[in-house]
Structure 1
Amino acid sequence: MGRSLLAGLVLFGSATMSFADISAGVAALDKSDFETAAEQFRAAFEAGQPDGAFYLGRMFELGLGTEADMTRAGDLFRVAADGGSALGLNRFGLMFIDGQGVLRDFEKGAELVCKAADMGDANGQFNCGALMLDGRGIPADPDKARALWSEAAEGGHIAAGNLLAVAYKEGEGVEKDPARAFALFSANAERGNAMGLFETAKALHEGNGTEKNLVQAYSYANIAAAMTHPEAPALRDEIEAELTPEQVAEGQKMARAWVEESQKRAAEASATAAVTAPAAGN
């Protein structure tokens, strides 16, 4: 779809749709059916769903079915935020934090992303926590920042989970808790995150926060190495040297099964990942 058609759908609308569904729009994006996606998002917004404007904004931001146009994207993020979309509030807030098309204004950015956090948006919780930790645009409150990251991690936010896990592993600002660190890293490992996989492998290899399991550690280190984690190949080789040939074969079989299952999950989630609002600094 060309720029003029998507712009027309956003500004003037097409034939009124009898049914508008954000999830249907996301599914259309997954199939690269940008016209249907834009129609669904526009109709959803007109039906009172401000998230529709956010997703249209992401299409313009990422150049999905159109030329990338951050000015138009920003206008749509503002509309979404004004309508009460947590996704829009977080993304529009990041524009102020980054000084992207607007004056850099940490206070305004914090107001918006923290409002998204209050609404339960995981990206908002992560970003609000980051601002609280540094005291940018909002009073510094490390304890509340980590509490927000904990909420975000429970909602599946990978960066929040890894940051919290590092804090518990190293005892940075919190009491050292290897078991809690392992739980957070292993949750991210199951989501296919390279850092989570590597740290889980290390913990299983060392028996740090969990029982030692060399075969499972080898499996995770093998996967992390395949995902190009810089330290994973050395860890994989170190563990392999401690295993019998039968254990090596078992660990490789586990890794193959994990990758196959992960690919199935990734295919199901690909559309949502494509339009997820970014986190601060990402």
Structure 2
Amino acid sequence: MRVSFLLAFLFLSGLASPAAIHAQQEKDKDVFDNLMPAMGALDRGDYAQAIDSLRPLAADGTVEAQYVLGTVLETAPPPWRDLEAAHGWYLRAAESGHAAAQNNIGAMYFDGRGALRNFIDAARWYRLAADQGHAVAQTNLALMYGMGLGVPQDVAEMAQLLQKAAESGDPRAQAQLARLYLDGEGVTQNASEAVKWFRSAAAQDHEGAQFFLAVLLQKGIGAPRDIEAATAWFRRAADQGHRLAMLELAVAYEMGMGVAADPAAARSWRERAKAVAEEAARKTPDDPRSAQRVDPRRSRH
């Protein structure tokens, strides 16, 4: 059985005895068992049952239940959604040191959901989570440094945070870090590093990374020129709705670049790109978000 580095360190440094470690493991198992009915209800889409199962656990001080309840109340459809209550439960979990809750309450402050928009508070909570190694929070905080929101603008700090998050596997961080290497912002310009990080993010279905990787492979920047691979990445990004990738794919079908020439396919992709542009024009979104949340059903910390 593998023992985590943290537990090994605590044991060797004398900060935790084997009995204490065993007690913590038993406590974690109890929490997991107590949350199972709520998680099962969420999987079924039964928000009322999930909330009813979580509320007494959260009120009793179970930090993980507070976090999950906050997530449910924030993301559930009406009539179960309650942003102010979600903020309150996130806050209780965040004040207990729960990194994912700290990230999510930071996102609420950033977006002005469930609380007045406050970039300083958003950055503060992101920092607390980032300092615990929470990759999503590191990415969110990095973007705030890049924009100078809630913190002084600092491209070098942005790059350092993105590097940490990218090394932890966060695809958004990998894509943003690749852009920095491509442009030489906050890091020494290095096209091959850009390709490496775009490729890592693209493999995780980050459509922007797929598009930029395709462009670099098409032009032979940072990697040998590979038209077939470029077209394949354009296709993957286009399949996810990336408009510019659709247009590039249309050109590929027109010219027979990396695929057999197919005028009908070219017309189809141009029409799809036009439809995407028209749909985007009809929407009037609020400020674009740098904030990303953590959903307990998909990501465990």
When normalised by structure 1's length, the TM-score is 0.70
Which of 75, 79, 85 does residue 88 from structure 2 map onto? 75
Alignment partner, residue 43 of structure 2: 30
Alignment partner, residue 257 of structure 2: 242
* 1:275 positional shift: 6.6
- The code of the aligned residue for 2:214 comes to A
Task: Give the 3-state SS of the residue equivalent to 1:19 in structure 2.
Answer: helix
* 1:114 positional shift: 0.3
Contact 1:17 1:43 in 2 (8 A): no
* 1:73 positional shift: 0.9
Alignment partner, residue 165 of structure 2: 152
Cα deviation 1:102-137 (Å, max 9, x = unaligned): 344333332211001001112211122223334433
Which of 113, 119, 142 does residue 100 from structure 1 map onto? 113
Task: Give the 3-state SS of the residue equivalent to 1:174 in structure 2.
Answer: coil
Contact 1:214 1:239 in 2 (8 A): no
The yes-or-no answer on 1:20 pairing with 2:39 is no
Contact 1:205 1:239 in 2 (8 A): no
Alignment partner, residue 110 of structure 1: 123
Alignment partner, residue 19 of structure 2: none
Question: CA 1:152–1:47 in structure 2 vs 1: closer, same or farther (change >3 Å)?
Answer: farther
Task: Give the 3-state SS of the residue equivalent to 1:192 in structure 2.
Answer: coil
What fraction of aligned residue pairs are identical, expressed as a percent?
26
Distance of 2:297 and 2:157 partners within structure 1 = 30
Distance of 2:55 and 2:182 partners within structure 1 = 46
Which of 52, 59, 69 does residue 65 from structure 2 map onto? 52
- The code of the aligned residue for 1:242 comes to M
Alignment partner, residue 178 of structure 2: 165
Bigger Rg over Cα? 2
Task: Give the 3-state SS of the residue equivalent to 2:33 in structure 1.
Answer: coil
Between stretches 230-239 and 66-75, larger displacement belongs to 230-239
Task: Give the 3-state SS of the residue equivalent to 2:185 in structure 1.
Answer: coil
Question: CA 1:223–1:27 in structure 2 vs 1: closer, same or farther (change >3 Å)?
Answer: farther
Cα deviation 1:151-173 (Å, max 9, x = unaligned): 22223323222222112112234
- In angstroms, what is the RMSD of aligned CA positions? 3.4
Alignment partner, residue 198 of structure 1: 211
Question: CA 1:231–1:139 in structure 2 vs 1: closer, same or farther (change >3 Å)?
Answer: closer
Question: CA 1:186–1:35 in structure 2 vs 1: closer, same or farther (change >3 Å)?
Answer: same
Question: CA 1:242–1:127 in structure 2 vs 1: closer, same or farther (change >3 Å)?
Answer: closer
Contact 2:146 2:154 in 1 (8 A): yes
When normalised by structure 2's length, the TM-score is 0.67
Contact 1:25 1:38 in 2 (8 A): yes
Distance of 1:55 and 1:239 partners within structure 2 = 46
Contact 2:47 2:76 in 1 (8 A): no
